[in-house]
Amino acid sequence: MVPIAYFDLPSRELAQQQAGWLAPARARLLRRVHVARRRRVLDLGCGHGLVSGELARRSGGPVVAVDRNRQALAEDCRPFGGAARICADATRLPFPAGRFDLVFCQFVFLWLDALAAAREVHRVLQPGGVLVAIEPDYAGMIEHPAEIATRRLWLSVLAREGGDPEVGRKLPGLLSAGGFQVRVDLLDRLTPPSAARFDLLGELPLTNEERQSLDRLRAADAACDDNRRVVHLPMFLVTAVK
C-alpha cells in the first residue's frame, strides 16, 4: 500500500472534533496502561498535536510527536504541550530499538502499510512497552435510514486514496502475529450523529459524482427526524503489550 500525501490529515477544526469524540475512550485506555508511569512516550501520527499535549500532561516523562506532515508539525506549538516534534514516516522511525515504553496513535494505521508500521512500533518499544491504538472499521458502519448512509462513499474513497477501510478488524490479528499480547475493546454506546461526519468525508478528494452524492446525503440527513437516525462507526480500541 502506498501512503497518500496528506489526505489522511483532517483540517485542524475537524481533527479537534474527532479528538473530542474519542476523548472518553482514549482516557480509559491510557488509564489502563498506567500512562502516569510511562517515561518515554511516542505520539505516532500526531497530526496537529491535539493529543500530544494530553500525553505530555498525563505521562511521567517526555513525549515525542511524529508525523510525516511537516506543515502540521510547524503549526502553533501550544497544542503539542512541549513534546518534541519530528517529521518521519511511521514505517521507518528514526529511533533506536527499545526507545519507548508507550506508543499512542489514533486513525493512523488506517493510512499506513499496517504490517510495516506494526513491526516498527514493536522495534522501538522496550519489553513490556505498550501500543495504544484507536482505529476505525468503515466496512462495518451502521447507518439508518438508508438515505443518510455514507458507507459506500467512505469505502470507495478510502480504498482509492490508499487507506484501508477495514483496518480495525485486521489490526488485532496482525499485532498478535507480530509478537504482541493484544486486548481489544469496542465503543459500547451510541451517540447522536454529528453533521461533521459529512465535513470529514468532504475533505477527501472526491470526484464530482461523489461530491454530488455527498450533497444529497447531507440534505437527506438534515431533513431526517432526529429520533430515526442511527450512525455508528465501529472503533477498535487496542492495547498491545510487547
pLDDT digits (tens, 9 = 90+) for 145-178: 999 999 999 999 999 999 999 999 999 999 999 9
Rounded to two decimals, the pTM is 0.93
Distance of CA 229 to the CA centre of its chain: 24
Query: Which residue has 519530528 as its cell numbers?
Result: 86
Residue 197, φ and ψ in degrees, nearest 5: -65, -30
Q: Each residue of 105-152: pLDDT tens digit?
A: 999 999 999 999 999 999 999 999 999 999 999 999 999 999 999 999
Mean pLDDT, rounded, for 199-212? 96
Query: Which residue has 515525542 as its cell numbers?
Result: 64
Task: Assess whether pLDDT exceeds 60 at residue 1.
Answer: no
C-alpha grid cell, residue 195: 453533521
Other CB atoms within 10 A of residue 210 CB:
18
Task: Assess whether pLDDT exceeds 60 at residue 7.
Answer: no
Q: Each residue of 15-65: pLDDT tens digit?
A: 999 999 999 999 999 999 999 999 999 999 999 999 999 999 999 999 999
8: confidence class by pLDDT, cuts 50, 70, 90: low
Residue 228, φ and ψ in degrees, nearest 5: -90, -25
Contact 99, 77 (CB under 8 A): no
6: confidence class by pLDDT, cuts 50, 70, 90: very low
Query: Rg for the chain (alpha carbons), in Å?
Result: 18
10: confidence class by pLDDT, cuts 50, 70, 90: confident
Q: How far apart are the first and last CA of the chain?
A: 25
The Cα 219–Cα 148 span in angstroms is 9
Instruction: Looking at the structure, give the CATH architecture of the domain made up of residues 12-137+164-191+233-241.
Output: 3-Layer(aba) Sandwich (3.40)
Task: Assess whether pLDDT exceeds 90 at residue 214.
Answer: yes
77: confidence class by pLDDT, cuts 50, 70, 90: confident
